[in-house]
Amino acid sequence: MEWKVRAIRGATTASENSIAAIREAVNELLDALEADNQLEPSEIFNVIFSVTRDLDAVFPAQIARQRPNWNNVPLLDVQQMHVDGSLERCIRILLQFNTPDPNIKIYHPYLRGAKNLRPDWSISDANWQLQPMVKSGGRWK
């Protein structure tokens, strides 16, 4: 059996820059990610969290490491580049995992204020397909 590396993306927002608010948001995001995907922590290759510059009360990886069976998952925190007008208090995730099924359906959780970041990956999309990007006015949309 040949295993493939696949990736899950997602994002959420914290209500404020506090340990409690970030913990709540990260756990909600990881709960959704685990519940809606066929994922075992032992299959996780690595996880990268990025946070906006206005979140610095705690590392998301520190929160993830406290989850059952996540203590051996390679975790990394980085700060997102700042773009004026971008979503505030945002936590993004890129999780890579090994799977024997290269065609496995993947749910990319975008929660709270991050729901509008990727409306093309809405949970209501039964086929879980990406919408093609088109160039308009010199920008990709």
State residue 115 phi and psi, 5-degree precision: -55, -35
pLDDT of residue 3: 86
Per-residue pLDDT, 121: 65
The pLDDT value given to residue 30: 96
Condensed to tens digits (0 to 9), the pLDDT of residues 49-58 reads 999 999 999 9
- Beta bridge partners, 135, equal 140
Q: Supply the pLDDT for residue 133.
A: 45
Residue 68's pLDDT is: 92
- What pLDDT does 125 receive? 42
Domain extents in the chain: 4-119
**Entry pTM:** 0.83
d(C-alpha 17, C-alpha 33), whole Å:
22
pLDDT value at residue 141: 42
In contact, 47 and 61? CB cutoff 8 Å: yes
CATH superfamily ID and name for 4-119: RutC-like (3.30.1330.40)
**Segments in the chain below pLDDT 50:** 123-135, 138-141
Buried/exposed code over 15-44 (b: 16+ C-beta within 10 A; e: otherwise): eebeeebbbebbbebbebbbebbebebebb
* pLDDT at residue number 122: 53
| The predicted structure's pLDDT at residue 119 | 77
Residues 6+ apart with CB under 8 A from 83: none
Side chain identity at residue 119, one-letter code: P
